[in-house]
Structure 1
Amino acid sequence: MKNLTKLFLFAALTFVGLSTANAQDKNNPWAISIGVNAVDTYPVYPPDNRPLTGGFPDEYFNVRDHWNILPSVSTLYVGRYVGAGFAFGVRGSINKIDQMGDLPVDDLAYYSVDGMFSYSFRDALFGEGGWFDPYLGGGGGYVFIGDMPSHGTLNGTVGIKFWLSDNINLDVSSTYKHAMMPGTYYTRHMQHVVGIGFAFGGTDTDGDGIYDDEDECPETPGLPEFNGCPDTDGDGIKDSEDACPEVAGLPEFNGCPDTDGDGIPDNEDACPDVAGPAATNGCPDADGDGVIDSEDECPNEAGPASNNGCPFADADGDGVADKDDDCPNVAGPASNNGCPEVDASVLEVLNGEAGRILFDTDKATIRTSSYETLARIASIVKEYPTASFEVEGHADSRASNAYNMDLSERRAQSVVDYLTSKEGVNASQLSIKAYGEEQPIAPNTTAAGMQLNRRVKLTLE
């Protein structure tokens, strides 16, 4: 009796000091329990003055007057979890009977072996896990009491396990054992057990508290919410699905951070600490020229990558870079490689000037009065360095046509020679064409008309 009281006190103190725990289940399928048992025949022993029910459960807790207790470890249970809350186990017990009902007896030896199927209500009532584990059991056994005939029993059990840790429980139960042999009704009895149980057999290779059969990462410590897989950076994304498992990040970036908040995760961002567009891999490009600022020699002025992000020089401001401009100092359209184009108005000016170039009769020598005119013509031609001009030579009708053809050619050549040698015009821009007397612009019947026909003219080739 004293030992039983101590065991109850120990269990109560331990229960108060510990928190929620696991239980015997598929992870810890094996269980063993040792404890103290008490045999009580009074609530089911029928004296003559009571019905066959024995007044059950009359004086059920009358420990002092009716319980038979062997003050030592007197019961051993071994069981295995079957599944879905069911377990099967075998219990062996010894005791010494000195009270049977109200009758004293002479310390009868008591031995029993019982097999029991039990069902735990813990998960059904409270959800998976928890420290409070009520159960019901049923089965049969065999009893030996002193010199009385040994016999089988049909058993029913009510019990509660209090889980004190992952693997340790306090087990309190009461079992009614119904004698199955005729004439042995007096051996019907209650057996009460208080024991300490141990659940074992589960394998947890990585020691994370999640057994291998439920652990998706059995060799790496992990978390219950990820079925035993780790989340090293603690960002709520398990490492196997985390593109950046060592650094906390965001779900939208598969667990990678976006330090600069530019919408590009750091693992894809060439400049993770400075916001920039996706087009430049997350690096800033202030002038939008496609060259990131750190590599742009002109970060605030757009320019091509081939020129380190700086614009090419355009001295004449015509929009054609000097490197592509055939006339870098004279504005012109890109269609003419940056050079000005000769239009009708320019030709009109040229030929107005050319009309003032005068030649003496039957000579190809330019009069000195025409030198200023040739200088003006040269300045105009130089404005169009890519243009090619044809200098036409013409004559009046005096002399033969063959002679006039030769004369007009020499006059055209005189103009070309003067423009190239005296005025510095590029010779490649000029060519000559002789027309003789074939294209008069005035009648050859007067001296004035013939003077007009002795002329040169510039046209575009």
Structure 2
Amino acid sequence: MKKLVICLFIGLMAWSSQAQRFDTGWYFSAGFNAVGNLGTRNPVENLGDFAFRTPFAVAFENKWSREFAIEQDLSFNGFKKGVAIDNGTPDKTLTYFSTNTNFKWYFTDYIFPEEDWLDVYVGAGVGLFTIDELNTSGNISVGAAYWFSEYFGVRLQTTAKFAVNAKNREFDNNHWQHFVQAVFRL
């Protein structure tokens, strides 16, 4: 009996690890995000400082071909009172809100043509975000999704956000946003 259970478990793991990527369709993702609390206007300085207060993020994606997709996301986070944010220190707790529209290029077939359980992509787009004032950003993203089954996966993504009015904003400047999300094929 013990051998049968072990064989069934190994067989199930082998079957589930052969999840297949899908060429087209709608996807929903939900999870967490961390916002780079840089303390400077330079987007690559102090990468270890992150805001993680109410870090919720959701997104809808339409993959209209094997390589291309468009995604709309919403994310919330926040900064604690007294923590340096882009050359300033807020005297109150601030809420971060962001919405972005990104175009994605999935290039997995070019580097891992035999792997159906992995999706690797880069993306670019525009967004609106607010910490203390409303600002817009140009975004560059890189990410990957690991598929456990044909309907469920986990995605990791990093987005660099370059604020349009960085010089005129005390807190709403260039920053990084990192995501860990569960992805569901609809």
Q: Same fold (TM over 0.5)?
A: yes
- Higher relative CO (CA 8 A, sep ≥ 6), structure 1 or 2? 2
Partners of 1:189 and 1:23 in 2: how far apart?
31
Confirm or deny that 1:135 pairs with 2:121: yes
2:52 corresponds to: 69
1:197: Cα distance to partner? 0.4
Partners of 1:159 and 1:16 in 2: how far apart?
25
Task: Name the count of aligned residue pairs.
Answer: 168
Runs (4+) of structure 1 moved beyond 6 Å?
none
Partners of 1:108 and 1:17 in 2: how far apart?
46
Partners of 2:96 and 2:46 in 1: how far apart?
22
2:149 corresponds to: 165
Partners of 1:103 and 1:20 in 2: how far apart?
49
Pick the aligned partner of 1:34 from 30, 38, 56.
30
2:10 corresponds to: none
Partners of 1:23 and 1:35 in 2: how far apart?
21
- Tell me which protein shows more helix as a share of its residues: 1
Q: Where do 1:237-316 residues align within 5 Å?
A: none
Partners of 2:31 and 2:15 in 1: how far apart?
21
Pick the aligned partner of 1:80 from 62, 66, 71.
62
Q: What amino acid is aligned across from residue 79 of structure 2 in structure 1? A: I
Partners of 1:41 and 1:17 in 2: how far apart?
42
CA contact (8 A) 1:23 1:199 kept: no
Query: Cα–Cα, structure 1 residues 40 and 126, in superposed 2: closer, same or farther, change >3 Å?
Result: same
Query: Cα–Cα, structure 1 residues 69 and 18, in superposed 2: closer, same or farther, change >3 Å?
Result: farther
Q: What amino acid is aligned across from residue 76 of structure 1 in structure 2? A: V
Query: Cα–Cα, structure 1 residues 76 and 111, in superposed 2: closer, same or farther, change >3 Å?
Result: same
Partners of 1:149 and 1:171 in 2: how far apart?
30
Partners of 2:35 and 2:15 in 1: how far apart?
30
Partners of 1:101 and 1:153 in 2: how far apart?
15
TM norm structure 1:
0.34
The root-mean-square deviation of aligned C-alpha atoms, in Å, is 2.6
1:41: Cα distance to partner? 3.3
1:45: Cα distance to partner? 2.2
Q: SS of the counterpart of 2:27?
A: strand
1:196 corresponds to: 182
CA contact (8 A) 1:37 1:70 kept: no
* 1:420-461 deviation digits (Å, cap 9, x = unpaired): xxxxxxxxxxxxxxxxxxxxxxxxxxxxxxxxxxxxxxxxxx
Query: Cα–Cα, structure 1 residues 166 and 180, in superposed 2: closer, same or farther, change >3 Å?
Result: same
Q: What amino acid is aligned across from residue 180 of structure 2 in structure 1? A: V
1:123: Cα distance to partner? 1.8
Q: What amino acid is aligned across from residue 153 of structure 1 in structure 2? A: S
1:84: Cα distance to partner? 3.6
1:21: Cα distance to partner? 1.4
Partners of 2:75 and 2:144 in 1: how far apart?
19
1:129: Cα distance to partner? 5.0
* 1:356-395 deviation digits (Å, cap 9, x = unpaired): xxxxxxxxxxxxxxxxxxxxxxxxxxxxxxxxxxxxxxxx
Unaligned runs of 5+ in 2: 1-12
CA contact (8 A) 2:86 2:170 kept: no
Larger radius of gyration: 1
Query: Cα–Cα, structure 1 residues 129 and 17, in superposed 2: closer, same or farther, change >3 Å?
Result: closer
Query: Cα–Cα, structure 1 residues 75 and 130, in superposed 2: closer, same or farther, change >3 Å?
Result: same
Q: What amino acid is aligned across from residue 32 of structure 1 in structure 2? A: F
Q: What amino acid is aligned across from residue 40 of structure 1 in structure 2? A: G
Q: What amino acid is aligned across from residue 169 of structure 2 in structure 1? A: T
1:266 corresponds to: none
Confirm or deny that 1:149 pairs with 2:133: yes
Partners of 1:143 and 1:189 in 2: how far apart?
11
Partners of 1:16 and 1:143 in 2: how far apart?
43
1:124: Cα distance to partner? 2.1
Query: Cα–Cα, structure 1 residues 110 and 155, in superposed 2: closer, same or farther, change >3 Å?
Result: same
Confirm or deny that 1:116 pairs with 2:123: no
Pick the aligned partner of 1:184 from 134, 154, 169.
169
